[in-house]
Structure 1
Amino acid sequence: MADPGDMGQAVARVEDGPLVRGHGQFVADLRVPGCLEAAFVRSGVAHGLLRSVDLTASRRTPGVRGAWSASHLDDVPLVPAMLYPEGALDRPWPALATDRVRYAGEPVAIVVAENRYVAEDGRDRARISTEPLPAVLDSAQAGRDEVPLFPGLSNVAVDVTVGEPVDPRVWERAAAVVDTTYRYPALCHTSVEARAILSRPEPGGVLTVWCSHQAPHRLRNDLAAALGLPTDVVRVIVPDVGGAFGGKSETWPEYLAVTAAALRLARPVRWVEDRAEALSAGPRGRAQTQRVRLAADADGRFLAMELHTDAAVGGYPHMGAFLPEVTARMATGAYATPEVHVRARAVLTNTPPLCPYRGAGRPEAAYAVECTVDLLARRIGMDPAELRRRNFVRPDAFPYDTPTGFRYDSGDYPAALDLALKTLDYPRWRAEQAHRRAADGTPLGIGVCAYVERSGAGGEFGAVEAHADGTFTATSGCCATGQAHATTFAQVVASALGVDRHLVHLVEADTSVVPRGVGSFASRSMQNGGEALLEAAHRLLAEARRRLAAQADVPEAEIVVQSGGTLHARGRTRTLGELAAHHPLRAEAQVEPPQAFPFGAYAAVVEVDRELGIVRVLRLVAVDDYGTVVNPLVVHGQTYGSIAQGLGQALYEEAVHDADGRPRTVSLLEYLLPTLSEIPDITLEETCTPNPATRLGAKGAGEAGCIGVPPAVVNAVADALQIDPSTLTVPLTPETCWRAAR
């Protein structure tokens, strides 16, 4: 019998209709009576002592309703640390700069006016006096503490080691050792909708906040704590969101300043970040410098690996201090390397703050590991695919405890790689490569990447309620930012209850109606949120059985659940709606599944123009294993999007600053993104290894392309030019490849 909930089917997203017709409701679309608009006065220098902020002319601007710097406020709210408070100890981050600025674009004052145009006029009339200090932009330079960002404290905010130190004799006795360095540049968050917030004080002391965010309950708690408000008077609503990818998980200083201004004026205040702000002062991703050492025996079997990675976390460690440790934990990759030792540091630099960006620490680990595997293959003269096969964690070795402290739940890494190479037609491309080399033709290269990533974190809340009219409400603590929760969560609940998915209505992203929740990040929505709803649906069915058993005076074991949400026992039939008619029929669940470890293999074919240095990606194959897939159409869409971002990382994107820390990439003319014209021929395939720790069996999906694409493309370019991958620096600009070709 067909599943009435369409579980596992590629059904169209119910969210798309309103969005493509222009009926979406984003923060900028909200029509709130009396709403004022905010603009921020920002530091023009990357590091300096803030001597004065003169807002006299700003306040005199017609239409301006208020303008404040930290000196005009009795108590400047402090930005809370997100996931690693230890790194932020004794390093306060005020919502508006107080005595010192630590990155170009740091908010110094807020101007609030009747509209955004007037607010920007007022902003432009502000006068800031700053005594410049030397700026440190490189994590290695900053780590020497010659220019401390916080006097008396080291710029190294976090310094962790993972795994046991490698015995020196391993390196001495190894048949082959490679030692290399990589630089992974800082990337800008370029969601279609940048950050946005609207705060409205309500009668009775209630505060309603609309924000483009990934974790509304976290934002509620942070705002309440920072502003000295009871948690129960703060309501956070997340409307439609135009992309997030990690940069909307946090409580940014602008959010605190906007909300403080709204409370002071007793009027709604909105701030919508424009593209120039997002590129020059907005959150950053990646930004790691890595040194890697890998040893192997005469057969190419890995003996040990060491990684030292420094992350440039920006002027404040509050958002990204935990990311280097994520990289450290994932440094084992897909391999059964006996000894792995990692030192990971979060280093303060005079750049905008680092925060999670799609993949959040896992792409950095995959890049270090996978490019080094290709380097070793080149050194010992072995096919890079064969070298990977020899070192994979065996399918019968799961659950596998890594030397870095993770437990991989399940997997079949050789199957994923074999499928990728078969789909690519690996032998044919190797033959074409040999032909071109013999004829001195355009260089062609093949690159592969085998990745493992971490998905899911923390618990999650879910509830399901049946209504007398035959409909159902699913309530989730997650928060959609484009992942199609209204479609896929309905599929999960409907399949469990045996009803049509169109009868299931999803409620989330509003702290006044969802009692608790964690949010959507780290590829956790289906793995955690879907599992919570599935558990709640089964608990609702159990309660329905008990209720019908009592009514019909029969044992629960005799009750049969039929399609259409109908229960049958000894000739008596009741729908779930009928059972809910006289007494609420509702069930809740709080699940705490462990982290899961999706995996896959990517293969890329490229050619490189020797004269122009232009890289052309001819073919890209992605094989991913996400466990149980609820909706292939949604998962494939997320994979395509992630691949596009991975191509951007490999070929185009980099946040550039001058020697004094001023941003150079301030528009999309300088900060390049891949467009449809740059997307190659892509083939998506999947293997399926269900998550053994959950009823649903899902693992995280949506971040794989950012992890698998960059190493595959870089390895392919290095293969084309017959050079070491470590001699290339991403992004692979034409100049970079032109020089490498020579």
Structure 2
Amino acid sequence: MIGERMPRREDARLLRGAGRYVADIRVDGCLDAAFVCGAVAHGELRGVDLERARAVPGVVAAWSHADLPDLPPTPPMLDADSARERPWPPLASGRVRYAGEPVAVVIGTDRYVAEDGRDAAVVRVDALPAVLDPAEAAGGAVRLFPGLGNVAEEREFGAPIEQDVWRGAAVVVEARYRQQRLAHTSIEPRAIIVRPEAGGGLTVWASHQAPHRLRRDLADAFGLRPERVRVIVPDVGGAFGGKSETWPEYLVVAAAARRLGRPVRWLQDRAEALTGPPHGRDQDQRVRMAAGADGRIVAYELHIDAGVGAYPHTGAFVPTATAMMAGGAYAIARVHVRTRAVVTNTAPTAPYRGAGRPEAAAAIERTVDLLARRLGLDPAEVRRRNFIAPQDFPYRTPTGFTYDSGDYAAALDRALRELDYGHWRGEQARRRAAGRAPIGIGLCTYVERAGMGEEFGAVEACPDGTFVALSGCCSTGQGHETAFPQVVAAVLGVGAERVRLVEGDTAVVPRGIGSFASRSMQIGGAALHRAAGKLVEEARRRAAEALGVPVAEVEYRAGTLTAGGRTTTPAELAAAAPLRADDTFAPPEAFPFGACAAVVEVDPDLGGVEVLRLVAVDDYGVVVNPLIVDGQAYGSAVQGLGQALYEGVRHAADGRPETTGLLDYLLPTCSEVPPLRLAETCTPNPNTPLGAKGAGEAGCIGVPPAIVNAVADALDRADPAALQMPLTPYTCWSAAR
């Protein structure tokens, strides 16, 4: 059953409109919240007048920070030190630090009433200068927090590289890259309902990736025991990292429900999702690479100023991930990275699909192409000369990771074959000779970091012959409802239809970490695999007692236990007494990898880019359900295409958002999706029973540098500064000149 292309069982429900999202949940007496947000990016908050808002018929309450002074600060997601001196108030107090920061909440009998009240509020702010670029903000001319610099955290990875290395190298290339700020644009924005319970407890429905983390944060915030808070995650319309956190609006909604003694709901709309948090990426990168005349890289240096927005809620997590993956697929003896997490007058950032790995791949892969161009070598050959060799795994990188396994050359060679690399190089030469519209070929080889921490899994036999699998993961569209039962059924030797998955409810699943960082199958699936194996062994032990034979004589096969010509089943054993096995699994992180290759045509007169062909070869280890993984690969590749060519959150010079709708923030549609060829190699994960590595983020990592390298190749531009993402027609038209 492992490796079978089983159709997703959840699709029948979702595609016919029978999904149950937070907005579909009806709770008796529920009120709606709307947030009053400041329009100024930086300024002293002089007052919030809510009298007119309170006078709107149907408005139940309207509060600013002055009315809710005991609201706890927004909890940091991972690194408390980064936020300790820069607390994030759920409702702005004293100063606003980004346009769209909530300054008050209006509670109404429905969303329309709440919005009418919101629009009636009057906010007075004395504007201050705003700083938007992280590199500029690091200089500190404009300070977001009086008495503190704008660098919230600074770290170094690897040893500094001696000047003799740079002076003695045959060639040194330098560049500066901008990883533009992106919006998560999940189909369903953030959403939460909080219902107060008798005795002070809370029941919460949320569109979220980590229900147990949300339960812990809410319990801590309001002084409750964790078991007094129940978090339920229904169907989720995408997340991409932006629904892992406990956001300030969640604290306000919970406080409102507690104060009013009634359920309160907040459904973020698209404008709020585009202009407010979470955003992703936003790095200013400066690189330097030294190599010999043969193209062998001897040193690589990367300096990162990462814009984390107005509050360092996620600290240095994303730039740290970039730093630790900085060397990519290459055996480079000297790698040194300096990262700075910098606050700016923009909405706070969060992990966004890939979370640091796309930024690392973009920096090194564009620089490898720059090196190849400087030396007059084929970019594929330069990569081959520098790959970590298969026999060198496990490989300890200079920045501190240990890559588990890989064959990077095999992935690149497969990508070149699938692309028909030789044909397109010939076509490129023919077009140049004929003076036709230029085409370019771009490559990227990437290494991904997948999975972290532990995960809970349990399998229980039921008296009716079915099985229940419980997981601490939490699907946000990945297909857990199909793939996890597939894993359990493979161990038990029964049909997958006999296995039902339960996750996303803290009252039923005792503990869990959640779904992010491509960890679900690698860790959560492996925990279920192990739990199912334990269930078989416990069933053999119980059957031995029931049949009066030694355990060694009991054989388990396809859901039946046999010994001495007599049989029983897990269902019969479960009818006598509960039959369940739990497991908590915490393997080392895994390192999937792959190669992308792209062919583009650039219109030199209008600057338009047409992707003629795109190939993605990925190595996820053992793939449990190729149909589901293919779907994730397609989606991730299209998001990577969006970053390369279309997407970008823009602000005016004063910090006001300019991308307030999907007419301004451009997403690729099916009309823009190029011919896409997916292929795989398989290097099993040596540290898990399934052999699986993470999948789902590969396209966001590999596609953007492949596209940008292809455009640079088409335009024959050696200056990387001329081609910064997104490669809009104006950017390409300018570069062509």
TM over 0.5: yes
Any conservation in 2 of the 1:34–1:268 contact (CA below 8 Å)?
yes
1:200 maps to 2:195: yes
Give the Cα separation in 1 of the matches to 2:201 and 2:356: 38
Which residue in the other structure is 1:739 paired with? 734
Which residue in the other structure is 2:364 paired with? 369
1:717 pairs, out of 704, 708, 711, with: 711
Deviation at 1:726? 4.1
- The letter for the 2-side match of 1:89 is R
Any conservation in 2 of the 1:188–1:284 contact (CA below 8 Å)?
yes
Which residue in the other structure is 1:3 paired with? none
Which residue in the other structure is 1:93 paired with? 88
1:173 maps to 2:144: no
Segment drifting more, 353-362 vs 138-147: 138-147
Which residue in the other structure is 2:313 paired with? 318
Give the Cα separation in 1 of the matches to 2:623 and 2:448: 17
1:233 pairs, out of 213, 228, 231, with: 228
Give the Cα separation in 1 of the matches to 2:135 and 2:546: 72
1:184 maps to 2:179: yes
Structure 1: gaps (5+ residues):
1-5
1:557 maps to 2:552: yes
Give the Cα separation in 1 of the matches to 2:633 and 2:447: 15
Give the Cα separation in 1 of the matches to 2:551 and 2:402: 39
1:625 maps to 2:619: yes
Any conservation in 1 of the 2:71–2:251 contact (CA below 8 Å)?
no
CA displacement, residues 169-225 of structure 1 (integer Å, 9 cap, x when unaligned): 111111111011001110011000000000001223221000000000000111111
CA displacement, residues 410-450 of structure 1 (integer Å, 9 cap, x when unaligned): 00000000000001000000000010011111100000000
Give the Cα separation in 2 of the matches to 1:304 and 1:448: 21
1:448 maps to 2:443: yes
Any conservation in 2 of the 1:58–1:125 contact (CA below 8 Å)?
yes
1:465 maps to 2:460: yes
- The letter for the 1-side match of 2:438 is P
- The letter for the 2-side match of 1:289 is D
How does 1:11-30 map onto structure 2 within 5 Å?
11-30=6-25
Segment drifting more, 68-77 vs 704-713: 68-77
Helix, strand or coil: the match of 1:235? strand
- The letter for the 2-side match of 1:651 is L
Any conservation in 1 of the 2:469–2:499 contact (CA below 8 Å)?
yes
Which residue in the other structure is 1:589 paired with? 583
Give the Cα separation in 1 of the matches to 2:517 and 2:628: 17
Any conservation in 2 of the 1:601–1:622 contact (CA below 8 Å)?
yes
1:698 maps to 2:692: yes
How does 1:204-603 map onto structure 2 within 5 Å?
204-563=199-558, 565-603=559-597
Q: Supply the RMSD in Å over aligned alpha carbons.
A: 0.8
Give the Cα separation in 2 of the matches to 1:559 and 1:422: 51
Helix, strand or coil: the match of 2:204? strand
Any conservation in 2 of the 1:462–1:589 contact (CA below 8 Å)?
yes
Deviation at 1:76? 2.1
Which residue in the other structure is 2:63 paired with? 68
Deviation at 1:320? 4.8
Which residue in the other structure is 2:701 paired with? 707
1:82 maps to 2:77: yes
Any conservation in 1 of the 2:82–2:315 contact (CA below 8 Å)?
no
Which residue in the other structure is 2:681 paired with? 687
- The letter for the 1-side match of 2:46 is R
- The letter for the 1-side match of 2:620 is Y
How does 1:150-165 map onto structure 2 within 5 Å?
150-165=145-160
Give the Cα separation in 2 of the matches to 1:101 and 1:352: 11
Deviation at 1:306? 0.3
How does 1:127-146 map onto structure 2 within 5 Å?
127-146=122-141
CA displacement, residues 618-677 of structure 1 (integer Å, 9 cap, x when unaligned): 000000000110100000000100001000000000000000000000000000000000
Any conservation in 2 of the 1:111–1:119 contact (CA below 8 Å)?
yes
Segment drifting more, 221-230 vs 283-292: 221-230
Give the Cα separation in 1 of the matches to 2:594 and 2:549: 50
Helix, strand or coil: the match of 2:664? coil
How does 1:654-669 map onto structure 2 within 5 Å?
654-669=648-663
Any conservation in 2 of the 1:320–1:355 contact (CA below 8 Å)?
no
Give the Cα separation in 1 of the matches to 2:544 and 2:171: 70
Give the Cα separation in 2 of the matches to 1:498 and 1:638: 27
Any conservation in 2 of the 1:375–1:726 contact (CA below 8 Å)?
no
CA displacement, residues 133-171 of structure 1 (integer Å, 9 cap, x when unaligned): 110001111101121111111110010000011121111
Helix, strand or coil: the match of 1:688? coil
Any conservation in 2 of the 1:371–1:726 contact (CA below 8 Å)?
no
Any conservation in 1 of the 2:153–2:315 contact (CA below 8 Å)?
no
Please report the TM-score for the alignment, with normalisation by the length of structure 2: 0.99
Which residue in the other structure is 1:613 paired with? 607
Give the Cα separation in 1 of the matches to 2:689 and 2:551: 22
Helix, strand or coil: the match of 1:203? coil
CA displacement, residues 491-516 of structure 1 (integer Å, 9 cap, x when unaligned): 00000011110000101000001100
Give the Cα separation in 1 of the matches to 2:167 and 2:314: 40
Deviation at 1:473? 0.4
Give the Cα separation in 2 of the matches to 1:122 and 1:468: 54
Segment drifting more, 369-378 vs 579-588: 579-588
Please report the TM-score for the alignment, with normalisation by the length of structure 1: 0.98
Which residue in the other structure is 2:725 paired with? 730
Any conservation in 2 of the 1:320–1:354 contact (CA below 8 Å)?
no
CA displacement, residues 252-299 of structure 1 (integer Å, 9 cap, x when unaligned): 111111111111100011010100111111311000000000111121
- The letter for the 2-side match of 1:340 is V
CA displacement, residues 79-107 of structure 1 (integer Å, 9 cap, x when unaligned): 00001111111111111001111100000
Give the Cα separation in 2 of the matches to 1:316 and 1:183: 21
1:45 pairs, out of 40, 44, 49, with: 40
Give the Cα separation in 2 of the matches to 1:500 and 1:140: 56
